[in-house]
C-alpha cells in the first residue's frame, strides 16, 4: 500500500493538542463548575427571548439525573438511549447518563418506531429519554418487542396516551430530577456517585452511535471517552475559542459532529445557545448573535442561494453593487489567505464594499459571527469563497462517526477551498492503492457493537481505518475528497463515474436545487434534477413562457430544454463516458421526511432511485 502520511508533513501543521484538565467526559460537569462558573452556560432560544441556565444549575441537574439512574438499578456499562431533537435537555440527559458510568445511545427523532426498535434492541438499552409525547408513542408502539427496555423519560410535561392507558414505564424528566435530588440528601449516595466518576477510565465505552444507514442496516459505532477527548484536544487549538464566544447549536446532537463540538464548547467555557428548531434558525441567529456556529453544507448552500436570490431580484443598480462588492471581497480574501498585502486601492474598495453590502449580510446571521465550520458532507468551494468574501470565515473539516469525528480541518488563516484541510494533531492519513483514504490515531473507534466481522473489514490490526472515501493528499498535507468509494457508478460498459463532483457543479446553477446522477449498470449516465422553482418561475416570466403547477412544469418539453442547456456546458468539460445524456426533472425537493436525505442531509441514493424508478426507467427507454 503506497502511503503518504500526514504526520510526516511539516507545512501548515496545527498547534499541538492542549493539555486536558479531564481524563473522561464524566469529569466535564465538575470541571465546568470549578473552571467556568457563569450565569449563562446554556441558553434556549424562544419566541419571547433567551432563557439562560447557569453552570451551577446545569451541574446540579446533571447530578440529580445521574443519581436517579443509579438509584433505578442502572449498572456501569448499561446502555441508555436519547431520542430527541437538539435541545438543552439532550445535553442534561447525556451528561447524567455519562456521569452515572452508563453508555449513551443517540437515536434520531426523525426515524420511525420500528427503526428505533432495531437500535434499542441491538444495543440492549435499558431506558430511553425522549423529547415529547410523539416520540414516546413511537417507543410505546414497539415496547412489547423490547423486553430489556425498563423505562421511558419524557423531557416535556406531556404524557402520551399510551402511558395514561396503564403503562408504568413512562416518567417525566422533572420527576426523575426530583428523585435524584432526594438521593442527593444522602452523603453516602453522593460519595458513591463521585467515586464512580473518578473511576471512569479513558478506554471505557462512552457511546454507541448508529450510522444513519445511507445503505444497508445501521451499525453501532463504539466510541470511548479517550476517542472523543483526544478529538476535543486536537480540535481546540485549531478553532481558537474563548469563554467570550457564543455558539449556536441546531444540528442534531444525535450526530457525533454536533455532540463533540458541544463538549468542546463547554470545555472552553462558551455560552451554548440552543435554537428552538431549524424552522426558527433565522430568528434564533438574531437572538443569540453567535460568534461561532457549525453547519452542514446544505444550510450554507440555502443561505447562499437566498442571498443571491434577493440580489437577483433587486433593481439593476443594487444588483451591480452586490456583484462588485462580492468581487472586491473575494479579491481581498484571496490576498490575505495567500499572505499578500492589500494595495491601498483594494483596502479602500474593501471598506466601501463592506459598509454597503457585506456588513448587511453579516447582520442577517447576528452580526458577530467570526467563525463558521462546515462538516458531515462536501462543501462546494464557491460557497466557502463567497462567505469568506463577505467577512464570514467559513472553513471545512472532514471526518466520520468512526473517527470521533474530526480527521482534518482547514487552517483558519490558510484555508484551501475545495479541500478539507490538514490532519489534526495526532491523526495520520494515508492513501491506499485504490485511492481510498485511510486514517490512524487515538480517535479511531473501538469497533462496531457486536459486529467483529464488520469491524475487521474496516479496521486493520495496525490501526489503519478504511474510511470508504476516495481522495488525494497534497505534498503539504491538504486532503481533497473526490468521492465515496461505495457511491462510484459503474456503467454497463465498465466505466466508473464519481457522481458527487458532477452533482456539486450542477447545484451551482441558480436553476438547480438538487441533482443526482444515475446510470448504475446502464449504457450511459443521466441526471435527476429538482428545479429551484422560484428561480425557474422567474426565468419563465422573463422568457414570456407560461407558468403552471410543478407536476406539469417538470414534464414540459420547453422546461426540460432549459435544463438540458444547463447540463450541456458541463458536459463539454467531462470525459465522454461521464457526459449526461438525458435529463429528468422531479417535482418535489429531497427531504428527511421523504426519506431521500439522512438527518444530516446526506443523499440516500437508494431511496431516491426506489421512489423515482419509473422516471429513471423512462430515461433509458429510447437510448
Sign of CA dihedral 310, 313, 315, 320: positive
pLDDT tens per residue, range 401-424: 999 999 999 999 899 999 999 999
* Element of type H or E holding 128: strand 127-130
- pLDDT classification of 318: cutoffs 50, 70, 90: very high
- pLDDT classification of 497: cutoffs 50, 70, 90: confident
Task: Quote the CA–CA distance of 433 and 598 in Å, as a whole number.
Answer: 30
Residue 604 near residue 540, CB atoms below 8 Å: no
pLDDT, residue 498, reads 79
Burial of 91 (0-12, 13-18, 19+ CB in 10 A): buried
9 pLDDT more than 70 = no
The residues that bridge with 82 in the sheet, in sequence order, are 106, 129
Residue 138 near residue 116, CB atoms below 8 Å: yes
Q: What is the pTM of this model?
A: 0.83
Percent of the chain with pLDDT over 90: 75
pLDDT tens per residue, range 73-99: 999 999 999 999 999 999 999 999 999
Task: Quote the CA–CA distance of 325 and 338 in Å, as a whole number.
Answer: 20
In this structure, of 21-30, 61-70, 290-299, 494-503, the range with the lowest mean pLDDT score is 494-503
3-state DSSP assignment of residue 493:
coil
521 pLDDT more than 80 = no
- pLDDT classification of 115: cutoffs 50, 70, 90: confident
Query: What region does 307 belong to: left with phi over 0, alpha with psi -120 to 50, or beta?
Result: alpha
Domains with residue ranges and CATH for the chain: 25-200+278-288 (3.40.50.12780), 294-367+370-446+454-485 (3.40.50.12780), 488-619 (3.30.300.30)
pLDDT, residue 15, reads 74
Provide mean pLDDT across the span 557-582. Answer: 90
Provide mean pLDDT across the span 56-79. Answer: 97
3-state DSSP assignment of residue 576:
helix
Provide mean pLDDT across the span 465-476. Answer: 92
* Element of type H or E holding 453: helix 452-458
Q: C-alpha distances in angstroms, 210 versus 191, 222, 368?
A: 34, 9, 35
The mean pLDDT value of the chain amounts to 91
DSSP secondary structure, 313-356, as one string = TS-HHHHHHHHHHHHHHHHHHHHHHHTPPPPHHHHHHHHHHIII
Task: Quote the CA–CA distance of 488 and 245 in Å, as a whole number.
Answer: 41
- pLDDT classification of 4: cutoffs 50, 70, 90: very low
Task: Quote the CA–CA distance of 429 and 4 in Å, as a whole number.
Answer: 7
- pLDDT classification of 132: cutoffs 50, 70, 90: very high
265 pLDDT more than 90 = yes
Amino acid at each position: 500500500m503506497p502511503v503518504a502520511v500526514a504526520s510526516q508533513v511539516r507545512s501548515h501543521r496545527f498547534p499541538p493538542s492542549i493539555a486536558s484538565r479531564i481524563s473522561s467526559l464524566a469529569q466535564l460537569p465538575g470541571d465546568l463548575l470549578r473552571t467556568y462558573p457563569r450565569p449563562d452556560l446554556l441558553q434556549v432560544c424562544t419566541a419571547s427571548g433567551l432563557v439562560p441556565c447557569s453552570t451551577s444549575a446545569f451541574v446540579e441537574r446533571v447530578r440529580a439525573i445521574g443519581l436517579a439512574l443509579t438509584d433505578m438499578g442502572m449498572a456501569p456499562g448499561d446502555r441508555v438511549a436519547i431520542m430527541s431533537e437538539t435541545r438543552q435537555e439532550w445535553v442534561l440527559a447525556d451528561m447524567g447518563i455519562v456521569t452515572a458510568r452508563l453508555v449513551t445511545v443517540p437515536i434520531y427523532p426523525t426515524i420511525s418506531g420500528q427503526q428505533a426498535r432495531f437500535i434499542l434492541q441491538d444495543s440492549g438499552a435499558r431506558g430511553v429519554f425522549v423529547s415529547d409525547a410523539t416520540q414516546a408513542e413511537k417507543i410505546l408502539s414497539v415496547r412489547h418487542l423490547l423486553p430489556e427496555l425498563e423505562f421511558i423519560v419524557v423531557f416535556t410535561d406531556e404524557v402520551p396516551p399510551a402511558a395514561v392507558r396503564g403503562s408504568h414505564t413512562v416518567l417525566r424528566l422533572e420527576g426523575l430530577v426530583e428523585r435524584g435530588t432526594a438521593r442527593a440528601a444522602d452523603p453516602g449516595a453522593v460519595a458513591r456517585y463521585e467515586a464512580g466518576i473518578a473511576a471512569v477510565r479513558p478506554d471505557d465505552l462512552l457511546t454507541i452511535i448508529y450510522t444513519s444507514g445511507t445503505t444497508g442496516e445501521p451499525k453501532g459505532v463504539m466510541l470511548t471517552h479517550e476517542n472523543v477527548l483526544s478529538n476535543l484536544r486536537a480540535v481546540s487549538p485549531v478553532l481558537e475559542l474563548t469563554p467570550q464566544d457564543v455558539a449556536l447549536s441546531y444540528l442534531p446532537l444525535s450526530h457525533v459532529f454536533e455532540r463533540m463540538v458541544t463538549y468542546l464548547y463547554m470545555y472552553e467555557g462558551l455560552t451554548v445557545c440552543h435554537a428552538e428548531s431549524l424552522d426558527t434558525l433565522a430568528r434564533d441567529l438574531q437572538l443569540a448573535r453567535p460568534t461561532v456556529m457549525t453547519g452542514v453544507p446544505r444550510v450554507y448552500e440555502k443561505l447562499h442561494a437566498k442571498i443571491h436570490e434577493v440580489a437577483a431580484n433587486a433593481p439593476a443598480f443594487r444588483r451591480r453593487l452586490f456583484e462588485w462588492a462580492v468581487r472586491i471581497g473575494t479579491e481581498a480574501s484571496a490576498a490575505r489567505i495567500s499572505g499578500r498585502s492589500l494595495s491601498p486601492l483594494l483596502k479602500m474598495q474593501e471598506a466601501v464594499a463592506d459598509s454597503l453590502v457585506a456588513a448587511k449580510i453579516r447582520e442577517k446571521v447576528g452580526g458577530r459571527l467570526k467563525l463558521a465550520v462546515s462538516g458531515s458532507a462536501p462543501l462546494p468551494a464557491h460557497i466557502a469563497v463567497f462567505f469568506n468574501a463577505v467577512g464570514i470565515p467559513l472553513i471545512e473539516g472532514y471526518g466520520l462517526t468512526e473517527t470521533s469525528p474530526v480527521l482534518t480541518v482547514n487552517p483558519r488563516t490558510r484555508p484551501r477551498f475545495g479541500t478539507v484541510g490538514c490532519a489534526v494533531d495526532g491523526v495520520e492519513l494515508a492513501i491506499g492503492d485504490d485511492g481510498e483514504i485511510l486514517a490512524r490515531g487515538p480517535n479511531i473507534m473501538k469497533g462496531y457493537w457486536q459486529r467483529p466481522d464488520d469491524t475487521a473489514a474496516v479496521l486493520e490490526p495496525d490501526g489503519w481505518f478504511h474510511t470508504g472515501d476516495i481522495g488525494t493528499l497534497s505534498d503539504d498535507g491538504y486532503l481533497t475528497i473526490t468521492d465515496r468509494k461505495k457511491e462510484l457508478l459503474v456503467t454497463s460498459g465498465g466505466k466508473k463515474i464519481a457522481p458527487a463532483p458532477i452533482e456539486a457543479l450542477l447545484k451551482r446553477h441558480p436553476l438547480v436545487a438538487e441533482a443526482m446522477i444515475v446510470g448504475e449498470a446502464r449504457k450511459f449516465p443521466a441526471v435527476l434534477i429538482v428545479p429551484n422553482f422560484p428561480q425557474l418561475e422567474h426565468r419563465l416570466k422573463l422568457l414570456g413562457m407560461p407558468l403552471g403547477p410543478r407536476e406539469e412544469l417538470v414534464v414540459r418539453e420547453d422546461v426540460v430544454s432549459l435544463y438540458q442547456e444547463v447540463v450541456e456546458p458541463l458536459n463539454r468539460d467531462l470525459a465522454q463516458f461521464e457526459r449526461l445524456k438525458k435529463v429528468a426533472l422531479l417535482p418535489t425537493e429531497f427531504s428527511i421526511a421523504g426519506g431521500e436525505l439522512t438527518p444530516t442531509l446526506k443523499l440516500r441514493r437508494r431511496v431516491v432511485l426506489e421512489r423515482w424508478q419509473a422516471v429513471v426507467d423512462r430515461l433509458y427507454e429510447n437510448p
